[in-house]
Amino acid sequence: MRQGIQDDFPDSMLQEYGCYFFCLLEWSERITDEPVMDREIIPIFDYCLSKGWIEEDCFIINPVAILNHCIGRNVFRSVCKSGEMPKEGICVVYIKRPGHGHFVLEEDGERWDSMNPNRPAAALYSVDSYRLFS
| pLDDT tens sequence across 70-105 | 999 999 999 998 988 887 788 899 999 877 899 999
Say if CB 35 and CB 29 are below 8 A apart.
Answer: yes
Q: Report domain extents, the chain.
A: 5-133
Q: What is the pLDDT of residue 98?
A: 75
Beta bridge partners of 110: 107
The helix, strand and coil proportions of the chain, stated in percent and rounded to the nearest 5, come to 40, 25, 35
| pLDDT tens sequence across 18-72 | 999 999 999 999 999 999 999 999 999 999 999 999 999 999 999 999 999 999 9
Angle 87-95-99 from CA coordinates, rounded to 5°: 160
Neighbours of 8 (CB within 10 A): 8
List helix spans (H) across the chain: 12-17, 19-32, 38-51, 63-71
Neighbours of 15 (CB within 10 A): 16
Residue 122 or 109, more confident: 109
